[in-house]
Amino acid sequence: MYSDFLDLRKVKAISDYQFGCSITDVLFENESNIRIKYSKNTKKIKYIYDDEHLILSFKPTNGLFTLSLFAAQKIVAHTRKPLMRVVILSEISEFIKKGRNVFCKHVVDIDSHLRPFDEVIIVNEKDELLAIGRIMIPVPYIKMFNTGVAIKVRKGIYKSKL
């Protein structure tokens, strides 16, 4: 129990650093439901669950988390756009839902605090969740460029069940 408490504090500290305190509060709103799954080989933190729903995966290569679609849904429901989001043209929503990458020319709005390789939630103009991914270039360039990949989509909502 004591080590679980310390691991939860560690997970929340990483989340605070990576996403900010307000997002950590959303993701861990009910701490009693949070479950940490460890790697069988290394015994280190690997997955974070809210009940039976995966919310975060720990990447040991960079020491940060990747979001799940369930976590993205919680963030969209509890925050205002464009926080942690890139808003894209509604016309290309179907392509993004299938896991296709987002090009600079399709971006309508974006959280100005995002940095390259940050986790990002992709939504359409109605703030409907389409996918999750990683931002590839600095935000000012995304706003300036008309060509090139802005967001590498990791998972579209058609590729997975929520």
Tens digit of each residue's pLDDT (9 = 90 or more) over 15-33:
999 999 999 999 999 888 9
pLDDT, tens digit, for every residue of 93-112?
999 999 999 999 999 999 99
Peptide bond into 82 cis (omega under 30): yes
Angle ∠(38,7,25) on CA atoms, nearest 5: 110
Pairing relationship of beta strands 149-156 and 107-110 according to DSSP bridges: unpaired
41 phi/psi in degrees, rounded to 5: -80, -50
- The residue assigned the tokens 């995304």 is 142
Domain boundaries for CATH 3.10.450 within the chain: 2-67
- Topology given in CATH for the domain delimited by 79-159: 2.30.130
Q: What ranges in the chain are assigned the alpha helix state H?
A: 2-19, 21-27, 69-78, 93-97, 139-144
Q: Which fold has domain 2-67?
A: Nuclear Transport Factor 2; Chain: A, (3.10.450)
> Is residue 61 classed as helix, strand or coil in its secondary structure?
coil
**How does pLDDT run across 110-146, given as a tens digit for each residue?**
999 999 999 999 999 999 999 999 999 999 999 999 9
Question: Mean pLDDT, to the nearest integer, of 29-46?
Answer: 91
Tokens of 48: 């974070």
